[in-house]
Amino acid sequence: MRRKKVLLMNSSFYPVVGGVENSLRSLAESLSDAGADVFVIANDKGPGGKVLSKKERLFGATVLRYKFLPFFLHSLSCLIFLYKLKKKVVFDTVISRSHITTLIGLFLGYNNINYIASGVYKFRNKDQKDGWLSKVRYLINNKLEALLFHRLEKVYVFSESMVSQVKSVNQKVDVVKVSPGIDIKRFNSAPLTDVRSRLGVEESETLLLFLGRVEAVKQPRKAIECLYYLPDNYKLLFVGDGSELQSCRELVSELDLKSRVIFQGFSETPEDYYSASDYFLMSSSYESFGQVLLEALASGVPIIGFDPASSGVSTATRELASIIGVDSAFTFANKNTSKSLASACLKAKKLTEPELHKIQTELTKNWSWLNVFEVVDS
């Protein structure tokens, strides 16, 4: 029997780590285990500007990388790469997580291309338009995304808020909500006391976790500022890299919090830090879903975030809380301020064994990447 060929596309992939990249990694592993021949396409820009291998085997997939070029030239590089690939390989199913790779795939005539939106550009980047170049990039991407929604018959999303966001750009496109997956084997609630010890965190101390891209939309400064309003036994583990990192380091010095903030930088193994932490801070002002929420829950870590209903943020945190059905797994700040976030931290509670079991059962039963593929490929 012929193995089904599946192409996964995004602008970046492991060792770049983020919600979208983690989803593609887990999807690749799941499809490979199920007997599919999986290819992943991404650019060759790695952490710290490192140039990654053009071709390698990772997570059961053949990873192929096109050359990263500045501004929109990388789109041309991607187009040429996909054009050559199309002549060599015929794919049964194509799944894209980037609006740029999806547009290029449509332009080149790739069959069975399915777009799982990682966000809607005009909402995700509305506060990131400093300088003329950023404004130009913002306007161009808005136009390209609008064109994409016009060309597609169907768009897949992970939350109800994303349904309304896509519809705000194009009312006619069919938007299908599907529950994302989580790799239970990778993210689990096994305690990692050795990591706490290595980080210099005592068992009597409460460790908060910020993990992700250190960009303005993630509001990393609020995660740091909330520590100022908390007792001294609260510490913050700061895992990630990005354009706001230096600003965050300076803020820690200004607030005299150096002894309470642990900067770990970029990590290829974020799973190590979930189970070592007591609570996860979802400080973002915008998330189309937030894969980190599932990763934290699978790791047994309660989530502290802003309430979308009262704080003005656009995240799916409250939506996920209602689905999971374990109240103590989520604590919400009423206002989008660091002080309100700190108040929520003081109210948060650890999960009990029955609650952990209920969450694990829910995630195992209903949050599978194979289920996502079956919906998209139907």
Whether 276 is covered by a domain: the verdict is yes
User: From the centroid of its chain, how far is CA 1?
Assistant: 35
Angle at CA of residue 219, ends 215 and 220, nearest 5°: 75
The torsion angles phi and psi of 118, rounded to 5 degrees, stand at -90, -5
Whether 188 is covered by a domain: the verdict is no
Whether 103 is covered by a domain: the verdict is yes
- Number of compact structural domains in the chain: 2
Nearest to 356 by CA among 319, 320, 328, 318: 328
Residues 214 and 281 in one domain: yes
pLDDT tens per residue across span 91-149: 999 999 999 999 999 999 998 899 999 989 888 776 665 677 788 888 888 999 999 99
Whether 339 is covered by a domain: the verdict is yes
Full strand arrangement of the beta sheet holding 330-333 = 261-265, 234-239, 206-211, 279-282, 303-306, 330-333
- CATH of residue 75's domain is 3.40.50.2000
Nearest to 175 by CA among 142, 145, 149: 149
Q: Please report the pLDDT score of residue 72 as a whole number.
A: 77
Residues of the chain with pLDDT under 70: 1, 126-130, 191-193
Residues 225 and 312 in one domain: yes
Q: Please report the pLDDT score of residue 359 as a whole number.
A: 95
pLDDT tens per residue across span 289-306: 888 999 999 999 999 999
Residues 165 and 89 in one domain: yes
Residues 171 and 198 in one domain: no
Distances (CA, A) of 194 to 36, 156, 235, 272, 353: 37, 40, 17, 10, 21
Residues 125 and 199 in one domain: no
| Cβ atoms of 44 and 74 closer than 8 Å | no
pTM reported for the whole predicted model: 0.88
Residues 210 and 76 in one domain: no
| Cβ atoms of 361 and 164 closer than 8 Å | no
Neighbours of 3 (CB within 10 A): 12
